[in-house]
Chains A and B, each alone.
Chain A
Amino acid sequence: MKAFTQHKGLVAPMDRANVDTDLIIPKQFLKSIKRTGFGPNLFDELRYLDEGFPGQDCSNRPLNPDFPLNFPRYQGASVLLARKNFGCGSSREHAPWALDDFGFRAIIAPSFADIFFNNCFKNGLLPIVLDEDVVAQLFEEMYAQEGYELTIDLEKQQVIKPNGEAIAFEVDAFRKHCLLNGLDDIGLTLEDADDIRTYEAKRREQAPWLFDAVK
């Protein structure tokens, strides 16, 4: 996994509550057996005026001129500003894969759905929870100022505004550690392999039916 330490980037809006993962990456693109290549289909139904298909060249598709990510001022954005309950619905990890492939490194919202939130950390994408009024303020400032950029310092757990004002955010110690160092958490868990085996042996004795093979 790629590390996340500090990032400065252009901010773009996804200004609606309850953005679901079907909206982030529609189901037809889930047929891929790869982890990459989802960026051109991020928010496909909002971004384009036609229906998208897997494997299609998106460069000639008609863009929705009313969708902010298509505005010239947001080109190259890498920080997504969003509203409540971002990423609800399906567990598809294709959602963070699409956001990452598009070029986003961080998402700021008042709240996230649990599975999506968790999936982001596995892919070097940092979801940041800030108070709803703080997020509302960021939206206002972003709309008011073209080229609005935020700096995110994971080590210090701060979002830093263009005027230098720093906003603190919370992040789990374990997730922070993994992100800062780009660690593979499977490797970390396997360091506890002996504990897993001990548990397994004890459990097999207590509840052997849990270990019966199917078929």
Chain B
Amino acid sequence: MAGQTLYDKLWQDHLVKSREDGTALIYIDRHLIHEVTSPQAFEGLRLAGRQLWRKDSLVATPDHNVPSEAAERAGGVAGIRDEVSRIQVQTLDENCRDFDVVQFGINEPGQGIVHVIGPETGATLPGMTVVCGDSHTSTHGALGALAHGIGTSEVEHVMATQCLIQKKMKNMLVRVDGELGPGVTAKDVVLAIIGKIGTAGGTGYAIEFGGSAIRSLSMEGRMTICNMAIEAGARAGMVAVDQVTLDYVKDKPYAPKGAQWEKAVAAWNQLHSDDDAVFDAVVELKAEEIEPQVSWGTSPEMVAPVSATVPDPAAEADATRRTGIERALEYMGLEAGQKITDIKLDRVFIGSCTNSRIEDLRAAAAVAKGRQKADSVKQVLIVPGSQAVKAQAEKEGLHEIFIDAGFEWREPSCSMCLAMNADKLGAGEHCASTSNRNFEGRQGYGGRTHLVSPSMAAAAAIAGHFVDVREFTRQEALSGEEI
């Protein structure tokens, strides 16, 4: 019998029951909730007179709607100016109180983007099944967990039964071997993967990311990769447990301690695909061939190396793809053949569940240090992913580097990733963004998003247009001067 993949093992460990109709009941260990996709689920429970199956599996925090601007944020929930946003956050408060669910409230030390606080507190752990009414739940797969986004009906289902009704997905291995060049980050790797397999390439699969380039990434880098598995169509992305995982998890507030830790490590050390495991699909990339990436279109697969030009739809043979490119170029206000480095930016956003962790902020600060935002750039938002990230960054003085560069240092929230709070693009504005989606209108009505890594975003903020961050730092090393 062939060996098992990591996904096979996680599935097997959580299988409550296989049913005759081909579906299965899968047990859920951790259920993260936020204000946007939970109110209707709580309402459903109330209407049906149902209880939470296991209330201590839930952890709540408000993130999507909460203001990032310090003065407004200081007013807490009551201070949220937008009435509909305020009601939604208040509703989360009420539901957590009524159902006795642990919540990291708006200005409490544990608050943050749900996919940042899970791993950083140990609320999400290797070997867990993790769900949340948010497609970027795949992030937690970086720990060697089975984590994926669900809709609100499934949120209610997990609340009431602790299980999901699922069909097993197929296995895909995305293997990135080799050594990443200087200035090439996890974000560039995942954008290159999506560019290669497309936004539907992973549909129906659970993706395991492997290979030496993935292994060499930090946990935070792995989270960035798994975060965007859904942008390749896969509900779940994951990375096998190794020493990097164990070192990261150890001593996290909610990680097991003492004898429990030893027992857990023994179990977690099994969380890798067997050597003879069989995958339904294998995709391979060479790390050396990956350059810093910039998305030029309105889908994450519309991405190119920074040295490239905007594609010409006339060169595309497939009619559906051709019209897609034409529509994207029109929406983005770009010309075929235009150099990526000639795209000028109006705003820059560094944050989101993809890239708002401490290493992301350090990477951005390394580029911004001693430099100034270009005058033509209206705003550069730096939005840490959690209160803990914010505190750590301030301890390291990163916030001062950003403020000195003319950037804005904000409060933890999803912010301009999806513009549910006050942070948004104006119509026609181009934004270098470290978030995960460049869909039409995503960051604001008529806004034009370009997905990049934190260091590429910071470099673009300084230059006013996209630059190859490798060139940027090289020139600095040669001349010792600002560009």
Contact = CB atoms under 8 A, between A and B. Distances in A.
Q: In the complex, which of the residues A54, A88, A190 has the most CB atoms of chain B within 10 Å of its own CB atom?
A: A88
A208 B21 CA distance: 32
Interface stretch (A15-23, A60-68, A162-170): A15-23
A118 B84 contact: no
A156 interface: no
Contacts of A200: 27, 54, 162
Interface in A171-189: 172-174, 177, 184-186, 189
Interface string B157-201: 100111101010000000000000000000000000000000110
B460 interface: no
Interface stretch (A6-14, A32-40, A147-155): A32-40
Interface string B415-455: 00011100000000000000001011110011000000000
Contact of B16 (A17, A173, A192): A192
A174 B19 contact: yes
Most chain B CB inside 10 Å of its own CB: which residue of A93, A177, A206: A93
Interface stretch (A72-80, A98-106, A109-117): A109-117
B43 interface: yes
Contact of A115 (B17, B23, B102, B135): B135
B88 A115 contact: no
Contacts of B43: 33-35
Contacts of A177: 21
Between A93, A185, A208, A214, the greatest number of chain B beta carbons within 10 A of the residue's beta carbon is seen for A214
A91 B135 contact: yes
B87 interface: yes
A51 B21 CA distance: 46
Interface in A79-102: 83-85, 88-93, 96
B299 interface: yes
B332 interface: no
B200 A84 contact: yes
A83 B135 CA distance: 22
B84 A31 contact: yes
A214 B74 CA distance: 26
Given A85-B200, A212-B254, A195 B123 contact: no
Most buried by A among B22, B39, B84: B84
Contact of A93 (B29, B37, B439): B37
A186 B27 contact: no
B121 interface: yes
A212 B29 CA distance: 10
A58 interface: no
A211 B56 contact: yes
B25 A192 contact: yes
B420 A28 contact: yes
A111 B200 contact: yes
B36 A31 contact: yes
Contact of A89 (B53, B54, B65, B439): B439
A89 B16 CA distance: 29
A196 interface: yes
B256 interface: yes
Contacts of A173: 21-22
B323 interface: yes
A215 B125 CA distance: 15
B250 interface: no
Number of chain B interface residues as a range: 35 or more
A115 B442 CA distance: 19
Interface string B132-160: 01110000000000000111111011001
A210 B163 contact: no
Interface in B52-107: 53-54, 56, 59, 64-65, 82, 84-85, 87-88, 91, 102
Contacts of A185: 157, 165
B85 to A, nearest CB: 6
A115 B320 CA distance: 23
B167 A172 contact: yes
B221 interface: no
B16 A195 contact: yes
A210 B23 CA distance: 24
Given A31-B85, A51-B445, A18 B161 contact: no
Contacts of B156: 186
A119 B153 contact: yes
A174 B200 contact: no
A2 interface: no
A123 interface: yes
A39 to B, nearest CB: 16
B149 A115 contact: yes
A209 B16 contact: no
A144 interface: no
B149 A33 contact: no
Given A16-B324, A34-B40, A214-B56, A196 B163 contact: yes
Given A31-B420, A84-B200, A93-B37, A45 B445 contact: yes
B473 interface: no
B161 A189 contact: yes
Interface in B6-38: 16-17, 19, 21-23, 25, 27, 29, 36-37
A192 B254 CA distance: 30
A17 B320 contact: yes
B1 interface: no
Contact of B84 (A55, A90, A190): A55
Interface of B: 16-17, 19, 21-23, 25, 27, 29, 36-37, 39-40, 43, 48, 50, 53-54, 56, 59, 64-65, 82, 84-85, 87-88, 91, 102, 110, 121, 123, 125, 127-128, 133-135, 149-154, 156-157, 160-163, 165, 167, 199-200, 203-204, 230, 233-235, 254-256, 260, 263-264, 267, 299, 320-321, 323-324, 327, 418-420, 437, 439-442, 445-446
Interface of A: 16-18, 20, 22-23, 26-28, 30-35, 45, 51, 54-55, 83-85, 88-93, 96, 111, 113-115, 118-119, 122-123, 172-174, 177, 184-186, 189-190, 192-193, 195-196, 199-200, 203, 206-215
6 contacts: A28-B419, A31-B84, A85-B199, A118-B150, A207-B264, A210-B29
Q: Which 4 A-B pairs have the closest CB atoms?
A: A122-B153, A209-B256, A119-B151, A93-B151
